[in-house]
Structure 1
């Protein structure tokens, strides 16, 4: 219960059509029921405490300073900061209950989103892993692929990337087409080498048990009994994404990874990943796992870099201004 019971202050707190309360609900994962100056908050215990404190502190500011206005931009920033702190604490408390076994080696998730991702890959034919750099999207996908291959669940691994220039031109690179494209596939080689060893990977590639190919080479194919991974999918067009997803044959699992904030497509071209999220979100047999800044498991400086860019984009985006 907020005191004093002042309708003007309550109107400022709640916002037009309760838009401020809706933002609190969105960021802190709670439900707020308001009747006059009485507020009921429903949700996880930690979230209830954070929401209650935020509402009380904000109302106190409004009461003490009648000129104080709740700016939409500042409200977003404040709530994002609280939500971020809450997620950091959740990450520190996280105890994994699921692992991917590759021979005698266990690949263990480090965050709740990573664990969800691994579980969903086991249960769905098509899986999307979407989020910033360093969250383990590609590495965990590769671990699931190698584990399935080692168990004999699939006969081949097919690893795909769109050959889109990140500011460079393919024509300027030396060598034939395969040699030009090879650098774009290097992150997938690195993950394979770590999981299976350089010598074994080289032999399996020579036997075409492991195929690493540019996306353009997928047209017209149907791929059965395989684990298929499309990496850097934010650089696909709508048509390319549809083409890739319709290549999947019987007894095959596909994983699509990407970061919608790092698109290298020409301006005006809708990324296939963004379009697929809208089109396929409710389709049975397709899972979508969204990673966040706090899922970054690289050097701590990477997490701070990603957070800084997120903060800048939020405070400079027309949506927030």
Structure 2
């Protein structure tokens, strides 16, 4: 058990000593070659940190020492749960602590959904945990947010978990086959060959979460189905975990068709990014419309994720924010005479 010893002087300075239970625990917490320790030092420049044996001493202004000690407590908890503490993880902890969005950020980052092939899949931000909790509690969940926020990946993990726990009998994964600048007709091969690239991200996620050798067998038996959205028409899907990906590229009619496929004992997760609509001719997005239609309906939940939930390379979050600012700025400078025709058409 790690221990903290506190000393406070009358001038408002304080010092604390954090004792780690073993050298291994200390290395897991502070990082290889003290990379995590250096990040903490760069974040709390008015605090002095000194390592001696299995003990880390913290000294400086009382408020800064308290914040540093709280961060270290979260880091120690993660390390004790065999969570790899990286600079990215520390940045997430710092953000959650500064926003005071959750009392114990480490509880968010140690919620395991699925363990497969030597890796553990878990939410990495508060919004991601809220999204995962919503999937547990509701029959239909909409996960809406930019690229890299884990919308589809976490939904896939929950689907595989439900199948393994025998909560459902099958997993159905679907996407609309809408071009993002290219044309299906120019791709070589049969219709199946043309559609396959649109479903490839779903196959890739499956291979991350299951034994690749078992996937063809499960697909052959119908336990796992990956198909274009058009293949859902006319069906009733019972005892299934159904995921609709890239839902921003559905029309309102397609969205209604999909949602009404819901059968007994099933759960649906709909994911999409309303800033990346590829529908031709300025068609309305079914994902935008459904948020107005179903808002407030019982057993339906909308989970919103944003750039702070991006878990890809740090630059992805910066890119998402830059595009959002650019879009906002462009909308503000569109002349009123250009906006009027579009508004009149609504």
Q: Give the TM-score taking structure 2 as reference length.
A: 0.65
**Aligned equivalents of 1:118 and 1:206: distance in 2?**
29
Q: Deviation at 1:320?
A: 9.5
**Aligned equivalents of 1:266 and 1:95: distance in 2?**
44
The answer to whether structure 1 residue 96 and structure 2 residue 110 are counterparts is no
SS in 1 for 2:203: helix
**Aligned equivalents of 2:182 and 2:96: distance in 1?**
37
Structure 2 vs 1, CA of residues 95 and 206 (structure 1 numbering), >3 Å: closer, same or farther?
Answer: same
Whether the 8 Å contact between 1:159 and 1:228 is mirrored in structure 2 is yes
1:142-181 to 2 correspondences below 5 Å? 142-181=156-195
**Aligned equivalents of 1:178 and 1:95: distance in 2?**
44
SS in 2 for 1:135: coil
Aligned position for 1:210: 224
Aligned position for 1:226: 240
Whether the 8 Å contact between 2:173 and 2:227 is mirrored in structure 1 is yes
**Aligned equivalents of 2:327 and 2:253: distance in 1?**
28
Aligned pair partner of 1:300 in 291, 300, 314: 314
SS in 2 for 1:244: helix
Aligned pair partner of 2:208 in 185, 189, 194: 194
May I ask how many residue pairs the two structures share in their alignment?
237
CA RMSD of aligned residues (A): 2.2
Aligned position for 1:185: 199
**Aligned equivalents of 1:88 and 1:234: distance in 2?**
33
1:1-321 to 2 correspondences below 5 Å? 89-90=98-99, 94-97=105-108, 98-102=111-115, 106-318=120-332
- Return 5+ residue gaps in structure 1 as ranges: 1-84
**Aligned equivalents of 1:86 and 1:102: distance in 2?**
26
**Aligned equivalents of 2:323 and 2:190: distance in 1?**
37
**Aligned equivalents of 1:276 and 1:211: distance in 2?**
25
Q: Deviation at 1:318?
A: 2.8
Aligned position for 1:80: none
Structure 2 vs 1, CA of residues 127 and 312 (structure 1 numbering), >3 Å: closer, same or farther?
Answer: same
SS in 1 for 2:216: helix
Whether the 8 Å contact between 2:96 and 2:105 is mirrored in structure 1 is no
